[in-house]
A = this chain, B = another copy of it.
Amino acid sequence: MTVIGDSPAHEGAEPPTIAQLAELAGVSMATVSKVVNGRSQVAPETRALVEGLIQQHGYRRQRRRVNPAAAVEVLFHELAGDYPVEIIKGVGRVAREHHMAVMISELQGRHTPGSDWIEELLRRRPSGVIAVYSGLTPGQRARLAQREIPLILLDPTGEPGHGVPSVGAGNWNGGLAATHHLLDLGHRRIAIITGPAHALSSRARLDGYRAALDTAGVPVDPDLICQGEFMIQDGLTYTHRLRRLPDPPTAIFTCNDGQAVGVYRAAHELGLRIPDDLSVVGFDDMPPVRWLIPALTTIRQPLTEMAAAATTMLVNLAKGEPLPQNRIEFATELIVRGSTGPVPKIK
């Protein structure tokens, strides 16, 4: 066995206490405590030294207590559209009950935060982090774990992995229900516009779509599968492209409501009436889609409830209580409105 220097920490040993960290760093216990508790008035190089030791050896808090500046940090990959508001509402509802603040970070379109974010987060020391449609690197997850800051993934982009608790929706079932609904209306040429390939939710919706077609004995046509980016523009671009096919689709299932808005625009430009000439099913059921003309048939995922559940998990973990389950999945629901109708008669 190799012992490096005079370090008291090695494989299998208990993580050091504040006193041991202070000795290792050659600083006072008060200084280590300041770093651990995210206080200011520590020289940057001292902070870096202590942070480095904690990364190397770990650190165990003496006794667990609810964070004095109790706060939920919500990490969004991007602030756009109604999706963030639905989530903040759900987080806020549970946070208020527990007298916790709600803090918002945005990754401006990236799906994992940079190193600056984690340093500032450790300084803010929230009670826990909810990462929405994003994830942390294994290193970032380890830093949070060392500080006993729980992490919950909400609508995760990838496999949560390594026992990270997560909250999601029945995406596969949603894809299945949307496609069944169109099949029931007599459609056989059904296109799908998906989200990005890295999004687990989108993959599940696509698999549900495939399963519904398979079950109905309708062949899956790769020409009818369009990979989008969850953007309104996807619906516009792909609808034009799909309608140029020799045998164009009579129905389009979009993997979010925004894309359906783009389909509406393309249909208008092409002189197609919804649902007479083209049926459309969205996904999410954001509040404004009932106001579209015609009102959008969509798959509802209860984002506000999902966010509330993630926050409850976070509160329990922050109190040191075990979770009854590591993954909570909310059922999705088909909401039939005016954008879907029988397959048009062949002219």
* Chain A residues close to B by CB (< 8 Å): 38-41, 68-69, 71, 73, 79-82, 84-85, 88-89, 92, 99, 101-106, 120, 123-124, 232, 258, 261-262, 264-265, 268, 287-288, 291, 293
Contact between chains at A103 and B71 (CB < 8 Å): yes
Contact between chains at B71 and A261 (CB < 8 Å): no
A313 to chain B, nearest CB (A): 20
Contact between chains at A293 and B293 (CB < 8 Å): yes
A344 to chain B, nearest CB (A): 20
Contact between chains at A261 and B232 (CB < 8 Å): no
Contact between chains at B82 and A89 (CB < 8 Å): no
Contact between chains at B88 and A104 (CB < 8 Å): yes
**Beyond known contacts A79-B85, A262-B291, A268-B293: 9 more, CB 8 A cutoff:** A71-B103, A71-B124, A88-B106, A89-B106, A92-B104, A101-B105, A258-B288, A261-B288, A264-B293
Q: How many angstroms from the CA of A102 to the CA of B89 in the assembled complex?
A: 15
Which of B92, B101, B265 has a CB less than 8 Å from the CB of A79?
B92
With contact pairs A68-B40, A69-B124, A80-B85 given, residues A261 and B291 touching in the complex (Cβ less than 8 Å): yes
Contact between chains at B99 and A102 (CB < 8 Å): no
A67 to chain B, nearest CB (A): 9
Contact between chains at B88 and A101 (CB < 8 Å): no
Q: How many angstroms from the CA of A127 to the CA of B80 in the assembled complex?
A: 26
Q: How many angstroms from the CA of A120 to the CA of B106 in the assembled complex?
A: 24
Contacts of A293 in B (CB 8 A): 264-265, 268, 293
With contact pairs A261-B291, A291-B232 given, residues A79 and B88 touching in the complex (Cβ less than 8 Å): yes
Contact between chains at A82 and B82 (CB < 8 Å): yes
Q: How many angstroms from the CA of A92 to the CA of B68 in the assembled complex?
A: 24
Q: How many angstroms from the CA of A79 to the CA of B96 in the assembled complex?
A: 14
A277 to chain B, nearest CB (A): 15
Can you list 6 residue pairs at the A/B interface with Cβ under 8 Å?
Answer: A38-B68, A71-B124, A79-B88, A101-B103, A101-B124, A104-B104
Q: Which residue of chain B lies nearest to A92 when distances are taken between CB atoms in the complex? A: B106
With contact pairs A79-B92, A291-B265, A293-B293 given, residues A68 and B85 touching in the complex (Cβ less than 8 Å): no
Contact between chains at B106 and A103 (CB < 8 Å): no
Contacts of A291 in B (CB 8 A): 232, 261-262, 264-265
- Nearest 9 A/B pairs, CB to CB: A40-B68, A102-B104, A101-B103, A268-B293, A79-B89, A261-B291, A79-B85, A103-B103, A92-B106
Q: Which residue of chain B lies nearest to A67 when distances are taken between CB atoms in the complex? A: B40
Contact between chains at B88 and A81 (CB < 8 Å): no
Which of B68, B82, B288 has a CB less than 8 Å from the CB of A232?
B288
Q: How many angstroms from the CA of A258 to the CA of B288 in the assembled complex?
A: 9
Q: How many angstroms from the CA of A223 to the CA of B73 in the assembled complex?
A: 49
Contact between chains at A105 and B102 (CB < 8 Å): yes
Q: Which residue of chain B lies nearest to A232 when distances are taken between CB atoms in the complex? A: B291
A88 to chain B, nearest CB (A): 6
A110 to chain B, nearest CB (A): 13
Contact between chains at B38 and A69 (CB < 8 Å): yes
Contacts of A261 in B (CB 8 A): 288, 291
